[in-house]
Structure 1
């Protein structure tokens, strides 16, 4: 009787142990590579990325227009010389912004284009943003305005 009881308990515990294995939905075990459902961006982050892409396109178009206008309106080279001295005038250096030191975000190991916010350690998508760029932390409300730099 006790051997049947022990056998039943062993079978029950074995079936419970096997049933606890978690497999990702829609993926076959052993198959490697990214899966469409593995997107770590929230819908809010996706909307922000879309806005960044649109702004980037507009900026590139504006820069191209400015370059074309500059080439069309470029004065002859001899107008840059001061009269009588033969020296050229040097352009004034651009005004530097009063840069406040903002903290740099920490990169996420193994995920290129993602960083941890220096304020709350949440993951933020910074793909297609140049290194050193000042970015507003999207995990905070607009009223809080927390900024950090991309590493």
Structure 2
């Protein structure tokens, strides 16, 4: 079997593992659920009634969408005071925050982010392996 076929089989295996982790095992949805819960807690702490927060589900994305009766000052804050959007932006993992009456935000789906990281990690490992174990050392030299 040629080395290129072996590399492709390894890459496909890495992508398959990433997809299984994200989809069938449910870790992608669990991440979105956790971030959405934290966002709801952060919004509740602002004590502005009627504000709802949802993260994109189809496909899963790290975009928080806020909806409710808030004016511009409550939404974005003023000067050193934080707005509702700032509290949600501060949550680890949230990529973007938008309000329902604004234009839709674009972001890469969570699955694509995960698979891209798997490809990068695989290629990095492949490169390091080639550096350390790829060339035969000559006898008598260090």
TM-score (norm. length: structure 1): 0.29
Which has the larger share of helix?
Answer: 2
Higher relative contact order (CA 8 A, sep 6+): 2
Q: Which of the two has higher C-alpha Rg?
A: 1
Higher strand share: 2
